[in-house]
């Protein structure tokens, strides 16, 4: 409609100066080799520009899952179960996701993680929010700007040390997916994600004094393949790859999702 076109054109004029200013900023580092700090600064510049451009030129949206899970367009509420492992830990968890037919979605999760190197377990609590945008004549390609955060509480008192541990993490980035078999009973949805991530590890003694605190910034790449059955049930194996993170380990996992609740047709 005319008012939608006017609102879209106005949003473009608001976002375009921001894009131009970011692109014209002079780099604060001398030319040289492609080091980890340089890559972090480049990623911090690219991600805001990319997200702004996507939101500026995006067409009308039709909500499909860009994370290889059931679509929110028919089932607004979803439950998920997840199993994952690294070289030194494994986790089991569950989550709840809710999405609107015009793009926005959010999710919460909780998991129990066992750490082999500490001989104990931690409680992982996380949340995420994003906005889904569809492209193409049949809206088979989907892009999601996503921001997420998590707390890993524990392991505490490992080996009777009376030490309490806490990990805080967050990332900002985007995920892209493509529906390869949208009209079939089983839809195949490969997914790719890239994010700028932050992680902070700290340990405290029984008196609450900080023993150490280690913060790091890195790049997170995410790959997966969603197998969605009748837009309701899904299986999604995935792998997360942290780059330029000291001591970072790949994570391999499997997410099972089920959508329920019928969205009223307008």
pLDDT, tens only, 127-183: 999 998 887 666 678 899 999 999 999 898 877 788 899 999 999 999 999 888 766
pLDDT band (50, 70, 90) for residue 14:
very low
- The token duo for 10 is 């106005």
Task: Quote the pTM value.
Answer: 0.71
DSSP letters for 40-101: HHHHHHHHHHHHHHHHHH--------TTSS--TTT-SEEEEEEEEE-SSEEEEEEEEEEE-T
How far, CA to CA in Å, does 167 sit from each of 43, 115, 157? 23, 13, 15
d(CA 190, CA 236): 9
- Exposed/middle/buried for residue 62 (C-beta within 10 Å: 0-12, 13-18, 19+): middle
Dist CA 215 CA 198 (whole Å): 7
pLDDT band, residue 36 (cuts 50/70/90)? very low
Give tens-digit pLDDT for 53-70.
333 333 333 434 678 888
**Distance from C-alpha of 134 to C-alpha of 107, rounded to nearest angstrom:** 20
**Residue 72: which of 105, 95, 94 has the closest Cα?**
105
Where does the chain have alpha helices with state H? 2-24, 36-57
Non-local (6+) Cβ contacts of 229 within 8 A are 185, 186, 187
- Neighbour-count burial of 204, counting CB atoms closer than 10 A to its CB (0-12 exposed, 13-18 middle, 19+ buried): middle
Task: Specify the pLDDT at position 65.
Answer: 66
Task: Report the pLDDT value the prediction gives residue 107, as an integer from 0 to 100.
Answer: 94
- Helices 36-57/2-24 angle, 10° precision: 160
* H-type alpha helices, 25-118: 36-57
Residue 229 pLDDT greater than 60, yes or no: yes
Residue written as token pair 């929110």: 72
pLDDT at 103: 82
Average pLDDT in the chain: 78
What percent of the chain stands above pLDDT 90?
Answer: 45
């Amino acid at each position: 409609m005319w008012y939608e076109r006017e609102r879209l054109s106005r949003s473009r004029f608001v976002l375009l100066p921001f894009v131009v200013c970011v692109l014209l900023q002079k780099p604060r580092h001398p030319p040289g080799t492609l080091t980890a700090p340089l890559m972090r600064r480049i990623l911090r510049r690219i991600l805001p520009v990319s997200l702004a451009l996507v939101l500026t030129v995006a067409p009308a949206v039709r909500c499909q899952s860009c994370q290889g899970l059931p679509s929110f367009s028919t089932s607004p509420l979803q439950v998920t179960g997840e199993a994952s492992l690294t070289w030194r830990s494994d986790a089991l968890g569950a989550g709840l996701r809710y999405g609107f037919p015009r793009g926005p979605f959010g999710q919460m999760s909780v998991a129990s993680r066992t750490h082999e190197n500490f001989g104990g377990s931690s409680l992982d609590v996380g949340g995420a929010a994003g906005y889904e945008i569809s492209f193409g004549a049949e809206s088979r390609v989907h892009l999601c700007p996503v921001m997420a955060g998590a707390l890993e509480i524990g392991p505490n008192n490992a080996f009777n040390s009376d030490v309490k541990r806490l990990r805080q993490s967050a990332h900002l980035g985007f995920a892209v997916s493509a529906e390869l078999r949208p009209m079939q009973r089983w839809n195949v949805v490969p997914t790719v994600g890239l994010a700028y991530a932050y992680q902070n590890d700290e340990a405290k003694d029984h008196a609450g004094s900080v023993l150490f605190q280690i913060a790091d910034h890195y790049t997170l790449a995410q790959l997966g393949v969603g197998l969605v059955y009748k837009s309701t049930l899904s299986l999604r194996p995935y792998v997360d790859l942290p780059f330029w993170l000291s001591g970072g380990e790949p994570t391999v996992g499997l997410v099972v999702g089920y959508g329920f609740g019928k969205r009223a047709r307008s």
